[in-house]
Amino acid sequence: MAITVHEKTGVFHLNGGAFSYIMKRMPNGQMGQLYFGKAVRDREDYPHLLELAHRDMAPCAFDGDTTFSLEHLKQEYPAFGTGDMRYPAYEIMRENGSRISNFIYKGYEICPGKPKLAGLPAVYAENDREAQTLKLYLEDPVIGGELTLLYTVFEGLPVLIRSAYFQNKGQEKLYLTRAMSLSLDLPDSQYEMVDLAGASLRERHVKSHRLHEGVQSIHSMRGHSSHQFNPFLALKRGNADEFSGEVLGISLVYSGNFLAQVEVDTMNTVRITMGIHPQGFSWPLETGESFQTPEAVMVFSQEGLNGMSQVFHRLYGTRLVRGVWRDRERPILINNWEATYMDFDEKKILSLAEKARDLGIELFVLDDGWFGERNDDTTSLGDWYPNWKKLPSGISGLSRKINELGLDFGLWIEPEMVSPVSRLYEEHPDWVLGSRDRQICRGRHQYVLDFSRSEVVDYIGDRMEQIIKESSISYIKWDMNRSISDMFSSGWGAEYQSTVYHRHILGVYRLYERLTRAFPYILFESCASGGGRFDPGMLFFAPQAWASDDTDGIERVKIQYGTSYVYPISSIGSHVSAVPCHQTFRTTPLSTRAAAAYFGTFGYELDLGTLTEEELEEIREQVRFMKKYRQLLQYGIFYRLQSPFEGNDAAWMCVSPDRKQAVAAYFRFLQPVNTGFKRLRLAGLNPSGRYRISGRDYECYGDELMNIGLILSDWASGNRASEVPQGDFQARVFVMEEVR
């Protein structure tokens, strides 16, 4: 890790160990981007990398010099309106309507460690030795604006973290209408773009396509990061796969509207921008005011997609997640939702909890339906007091009765929403987002509370604190079931309506910060109608997130496979659910559902009273297995082995840091007919280590398991004599233990 500045030549070289990031002060005073890729030797200057050439019809910065055109130069944080015709990183409108700006180099500062970002989630450094931050200071003397570009490199991790900070030090009011967290220009377009797309119940499916001329982008304009697209993209070389090749991954630490865009110009150069979506965004800056963008995390890998993911896992798992639960094994829970939905009373809940206790489960979670007059999803959101008809001893009494059974107690909340049929809405109809002179769209019979207003956040925070203080709660599932469809706040004037999207998510962060500080021992799990807000911003406050409301064992393989591109396994909320599945109506074996759920936080979501004795005994064994191996499963090094998006099977594994232990899961979706034998190549093992393999009467060296593979011939089609279960939707779990 090193940040080297050559003041005479204006060269800045950020060495992240495996990569070099080099930029230079250009003749016009702006910052140019010279190189980002595999680490290279430092030198005083790289004049040949500032490539200049005459281009017909190109606007030029200097009269008489047709070679210096911003339209064809790689830039660090480009503007629109000074000769560059591509999409800019930022845009500022002046009082006179001009959108021309020109920030030129002023100076720099190198700081040990990593600064916090006010009001925003951010990666952190535990000490000043493990990170270095470069601050580049730029100014536009015409408007009196100052721009600080921040770059942080970490010791031992190939990551570069970037953001931008705007200040108005002039005399006129400015309007920031576009503010990306980063811009990156690359010299060629020979990449494939990989992103995570989908919808509710099929979140974060892996998509890939070759770059083409024009703009390709992913985005959210829903007020949250969304089920549709995750705030992440990767560019990989054509020969890159899970285990080798060059990959660049970029992830945005933000939970609101975002845009991630790749522009390929007709000269086949690439510009990547990522940050807050500019649609509906304009931030007024009075004299003395400032604006900080969310930060973007760039990961460089020469070990393929697995290498990229493992860096994200390590960084986010240890330097984004905070608090007492950062490194702790997650409790095995049961959630009553698919067992009872909202049709429950205290007797039914205690009966379910008692059965769970007998199976070795550690935590009982009470889901929706415990408050107000809540018997269905049409009422009571916002009325955060117990439903005394269902729970005569309230949440306080129920939580202590659960504790007396030997279980911890968890609770579901949805603090950002309000039902039209509720006391809160009757008293404060102006507290919802939407214009009062128009019909407001409803989703799930609820409105979105206006968290851009501090009085709304404070009220909800008071109610949440009272419930928690009165009860014995060790886990909270924080849900959010509604996108923002009607963006208008009665709490702000016309000029500030374009700030409400961002102010709203800052309000969500403020409430999270308040509750996590007040109750640091509570394990928070974020949720958004499943995986609609599974993003790095949420991980800063809640160390795990519910991956999807689709709990089907087969669909979860795809969802969790895609999620693992960015997010650590310890963050992936995963349950064994009821069958037929309540979302897909598919019936999968209990063992298959568990095999998927092992690679996450692990829990159950079904009615234990309907299971046979054989099924209950199988659950006991699953719980014992998870308790034995959850440290490895949740905090080991994760490898994707076979993609569920490319065939009839999938596989992944976790390996302990010392490589003495590993657990692998192999999934087969449909029963093949008359096919040949199959081998599964493993990864991450000690090549010279000798491993005992569960279900095998022989031992293998690590190099054999990685290069030849684990033999799966006992699962060959048509082998009626095999003791291994046959049929559709099957899974197998293998444990490898080094014996010498």
pLDDT, tens digit (0-9, with 9 covering 90-100), for 638-694: 999 999 999 999 999 999 999 999 999 999 999 988 888 899 999 999 999 999 999
Nearest partner of 368 among 332, 336, 396, judged by Cα? 336
pLDDT bucket at 56, cuts 50 / 70 / 90: confident
Mean pLDDT across the chain: 96
- Residue 266, class by beta-carbon neighbours within 10 Å (0-12 exposed, 13-18 middle, 19+ buried)? exposed
> Exposed/middle/buried for 727, CB within 10 Å: 0-12, 13-18, 19+?
exposed
Exposed, middle or buried, 589 (CB in 10 Å: 0-12/13-18/19+)?
middle
Please choose, from the candidates 722, 710, 717, 660, the residue with its C-alpha nearest in 3D space to the C-alpha of residue 680. Answer: 710
- On whether the 649-738 domain is CATH 3.30.390.30, my answer is no
- C-alpha of 199 from chain center: 15
DSSP state of 496: G
Q: What percent of the chain has pLDDT over 70?
A: 99
pLDDT at 59: 86
pLDDT tens column, 224-278 = 999 999 999 999 999 999 999 999 999 999 999 999 999 999 999 999 999 999 9
pLDDT band of 476, cuts 50, 70, 90: very high
Q: What is the pLDDT of residue 436?
A: 87
Catalytic residues: 479, 549
- Give residue 80's pLDDT: 87
Tell me which architecture the domain covering 333-546 has in CATH. Answer: Alpha-Beta Barrel (3.20)
Closest C-alpha among 563, 560, 573, 510 to residue 540: 510
CA count, 13 A, side-chain hemisphere, 282? 14
Residue ranges of the chain that CATH labels 3.20.20.70: 333-546
Distances (CA, A) of 292 to 72, 114, 149, 315, 505: 28, 15, 10, 22, 14
Mean pLDDT within 107-122: 97
Nearest CA to 291 among 450, 184, 174, 171? 174
Name the amino acid, one letter, at 584.
T
Backbone angles phi, psi at 525, to 5 degrees: -120, 120
- The yes-or-no verdict on residue 463 having pLDDT over 90 is yes
Q: What is the dihedral of CA 309, 247, 184, 252, to 10 degrees?
A: -20
Give tens-digit pLDDT for 28-44: 999 999 999 999 999 99
Q: What's the pLDDT score for residue 129?
A: 96
How far, in whole angstroms, is CA 545 from its chain's centroid?
A: 9
What is the mean predicted confidence (pLDDT) over 114-128? Answer: 97
- pLDDT of 159 > 80? The answer is yes
- All CATH 2.60.40.1180 domain ranges of the chain, comma separated, are 649-738
To 5 degrees, how large is the angle CA 218–CA 219–CA 225?
125
The strand pair at 475-478 and 408-413 is best described as parallel
Amino acid (one-letter) located at 267: M
- Choose the weakest-confidence range: 141-150, 414-423, 438-447: 438-447
Residue 713 — very low, low, confident or very high, per pLDDT cuts 50/70/90? confident
CATH code for the part of the protein at 68-319: 2.70.98.60
- Cβ(622)–Cβ(611) below 8 Å: no
Q: What pLDDT sits at residue 474?
A: 98
With a cut of 90, say whether residue 707 has pLDDT above it. Answer: yes
pLDDT of residue 720: 66
The confidence score (pLDDT) of residue 718 equals 61
For the chain, residues classed under CATH 2.70.98.60 are 68-319
| pTM for this prediction | 0.98
Say if residue 571 is exposed, middle or buried (CB neighbours under 10 Å; 0-12, 13-18, 19+): buried
Helix, coil or strand: residue 65 = strand
Greater pLDDT, 393 or 59: 393
Among 594, 730, 626, smallest CA distance to 670 is for 730
CA-CA distance, 202 to 223, in Å (whole number)? 19
Amino acid found at 711:
I
Lowest mean per-residue pLDDT among 203-217, 461-475, 550-564, 703-717: 703-717
The angle at the Cα of 682, spanning 676 to 687, to the nearest 5 degrees, equals: 125
pLDDT > 80? residue 723: no
pLDDT tier for residue 218 given thresholds of 50, 70 and 90: very high
Using omega within 30 degrees of 0 as the cis cutoff, is the peptide bond preceding 644 cis? no
Query: Following DSSP, what letter does each residue of 612-633 receive, concatenated?
Result: -HHHHHHHHHHHHHHHHHHHHH
Task: Give burial (CB, 10 Å; 0-12/13-18/19+) of 613.
Answer: exposed
Integer-rounded Cα radius of gyration of the chain: 27
With cut-offs at 50, 70 and 90, classify the pLDDT of residue 408: very high
Confidence check: pLDDT of 717 > 70: no
Tokens of 680: 């599964």
Residue 549, CB-side half-sphere exposure with 13 Å CA sphere: 17
Q: How many CA within 13 A on the CB side of residue 190?
A: 8
